């Protein structure tokens, strides 16, 4: 799998900040703490892809991006991180990330690439971060940990015109294994807003 992203994905991500693309089966899932979440059913997996729209007050865009990209800091504020680091491969840098799952479920791990760009859109600065799962030879699957091979995420961030940020996030994650799809879909309902709340707290505590 390629370790880079096509230009159109960056354009599509920042475009959703101005004109959300919700045709083709997207349905309103929930509204919570300033965020609206839509979902799209994926027949193949029985899971949902999500789009999140909202704002982070008192968190300027550059700060949000710095916190989101800082892997070492993520280990401090994200309680589900077991292992997280960036490494170089022949085709470029990749990230290894092991996520803690509650007993008796096995932990999951990800091998993924991501890219952050700050773009000038009609004289306004917009940051776009893209990530996806990849396969690299030097990072084989580990016994007792389930490898997540189907993961993608895009985030677009811009100023809200005050001291905060407007945020768009699109993601799909199939954790695999023997977890029933209804349980995964149920967990997403609390997982989406709680992650954004934790990130907002992390922004306020970020050691500049």
The gap from C-alpha 112 to its chain's centroid, in whole angstroms, comes to 11
Q: What is the pLDDT of residue 66?
A: 96
Q: Could you give the CA distance from residue 195 to residue 79 in angstroms, rounded to a whole number?
A: 10
Q: What is the pLDDT of residue 39?
A: 94
- 């993601």: which residue's tokens? 171
> What are the pLDDT digits (tens) for 140-156?
999 999 999 999 999 99
pLDDT above 90 for 103: no
Q: Domain 7-17+25-205: state its class.
A: alpha beta
| Segments making up each domain of the chain, as ranges | 7-17+25-205
CB atoms within 10 A of CB 114: 19
Q: What is the pLDDT of residue 75?
A: 95
Q: Which is nearest to 176 in space by CA: 151, 154, 195?
A: 151
> What are the pLDDT digits (tens) for 116-133?
999 999 899 999 999 999
pLDDT above 90 for 57: no
Bond from prior residue into 42 cis (ω within 30 degrees of 0): no
pLDDT class of 114 with cuts at 50, 70, 90? very high
């Amino acid at each position: 799998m390629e370790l880079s992203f096509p230009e159109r994905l960056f354009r599509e991500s920042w475009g959703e900040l101005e004109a959300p693309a919700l045709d083709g089966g997207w349905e309103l899932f929930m509204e919570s703490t300033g965020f609206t979440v839509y979902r799209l059913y994926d027949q193949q997996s029985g899971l949902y892809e999500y789009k999140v729209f909202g704002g982070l007050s008192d968190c300027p865009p550059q700060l949000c991006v710095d916190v989101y990209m800082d892997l070492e800091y993520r280990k401090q504020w994200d309680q589900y991180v077991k292992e997280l680091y960036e490494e170089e491969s022949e085709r470029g840098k990749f990230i290894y990330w092991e996520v803690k799952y509650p007993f008796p479920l096995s932990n999951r791990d990800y091998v993924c690439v991501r890219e952050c760009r700050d773009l000038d859109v009609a004289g306004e600065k917009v940051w776009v971060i893209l990530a996806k799962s990849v396969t690299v030879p030097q990072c084989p699957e580990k016994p007792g940990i389930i490898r997540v091979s189907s993961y993608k995420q895009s985030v677009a961030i811009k100023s809200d015109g005050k001291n905060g940020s407007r945020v768009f996030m699109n993601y799909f994650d199939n954790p695999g294994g023997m977890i029933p799809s209804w349980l995964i879909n149920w967990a997403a309902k609390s997982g989406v807003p709680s992650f954004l709340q934790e990130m907002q707290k992390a922004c306020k505590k970020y050691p500049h």
